[in-house]
Amino acid sequence: MDKRGTRRRTALAGLAAAALVAGAFATTATAGTGEGDGPPHLPRGTGFYVDPDSGAARQAAIWRQEGRTADADLMDAMASHGQAIWFTTAGADQVREGVRRVVRAAKAQDRVPVLVAYFVPYRDCSQWSAGGARSEQEYKEWIDAFAQGIGDEKAVVVVEPDGLALLTSEPWCTIGPDEELVPQRYREINHAVDALKRGKHTRVYLDAGHSAWQALNDYDAGYGEPRQQSGIVNRLLRGGVTRADGFALNTSNYRTTEDLVRYGTRVSKCIHLRTQGATSCPSDAELDAMPVHKPGMTHFVLDTSRNGRGHYTPGPGETDWCNPPGRGLGERPTANTGIPLVDAFLWVKRPGESDGECQGGPPAGRWWPEQALELAKLASPPLR
């Protein structure tokens, strides 16, 4: 059985940037989420770096020249909001310099870059978004260089989409042997947390899949996976989430914000209980009844880049994760979410870039003007 739920993501590349708003990190500020929040989170008013040369910005120029004024206006509106910059390719020196360029450009805008580290070995179980480091040592050197590129400047980093939600021990993942690679994955994610958190102003969020993927608790997987590796809460704890700033949900997916907030809040509450000695999560109803404002409660961020219309119900031969039709942009990137544990809505997946060669799309990560225009036209709330 495929435990992925409706997940998928895209290997993206790029060294140019993303996001509009204003403000920046204050080293001692919190997100205003109640008393006793623990370590600093994203302050209200944080502004995210906007890439002046994004696919949407370039498409707007093309369509304006062709006289497609209304479509160009939509692309300009899309381009005015921050999108994450993904780093996906080999070379410690290259990633150090690439990250440094983005961080400097963001500083010049007095904004904060959102960066994605996506280079873990055997990423995506070597499927559509295959790639990553060839060894644990290569990955550690790469992520160390990534962190050096940030230094003590301001940055938000989403660590390894699928890195914890998609272990090599999944039943359909033929990479192995699991008894070697699963512990290796945890070592790599932990190393990434520690390397990145050396930066004074780096905010680190471990990718945790989405609300229709992994269960909170361990379960009897039935295919030889140790129980302590199955539930997402255990995976986050073993990945070092308590030393990070939190976790990230919905990267490159389409789940609704309401659904994600409910799920993420349950994850956070369960992490709190586990760190207090509980051996498993209580029922959803019991978690929902728990108060949110507890000291040190784990925060999270949401990818709202394409969830304005929610998830897609696929027909025959379709998927709900790979270029589903009729989707729209979701909430704009902001740290002013008004939700206690949600530090920010982010556009982690760059809208308008394909999920892969499915349902008429180009290869993963390629700019797709038709999809970009559909996302803009169906945005909820509407683009302005």
For residues 177 and 15, what is the distance between their CA atoms, to the nearest angstrom? 34
In sign, the C-alpha dihedral spanning 337, 50, 119, 145 is negative
CA distances from 176 to 3, 119, 366 (A): 17, 18, 30
Pairing between β-strand 114-117 and β-strand 155-159 as defined by DSSP bridges: parallel
**Which of 51, 71, 124, 207 is flagged as catalytic?**
124
Token pair 């790979």 in the structure block, residue:
322
Asked if 37 and 297 touch (Cβ cutoff 8 Å), the reply is yes
Is 2 considered catalytic here?
A: no
Separation between Cα atoms, residue 132 and residue 193, nearest integer Å:
17
Measured CA distances, 211 to 110, 233, 305, 376 (Å): 34, 12, 16, 24
How does 69-95 read in b/e, with b if 16+ C-beta sit within 10 Å? Answer: eebbebbbbbbbbbbbbbbbeeebeeb
Cα 117 to Cα 132: distance, rounded to the nearest angstrom = 10
Count of CB atoms situated within 10 Å of the CB of 96: 19
Alpha helices in the chain (DSSP H): 55-65, 69-79, 92-109, 136-150, 178-196, 232-239, 257-275, 284-289, 369-377
C-alpha distances in Å from residue 12, one per residue of 94, 183, 356: 16, 26, 11
Q: 367: helix, coil or strand?
A: strand
Distance of CA 374 to CAs 111, 130, 249, 348, 352, Å?
28, 27, 23, 18, 9
SS3 175: coil
Distance CA 256, CA 330 (A): 9
Q: What letter would DSSP give residue 198?
A: T
The residues carrying an active-site annotation are 124
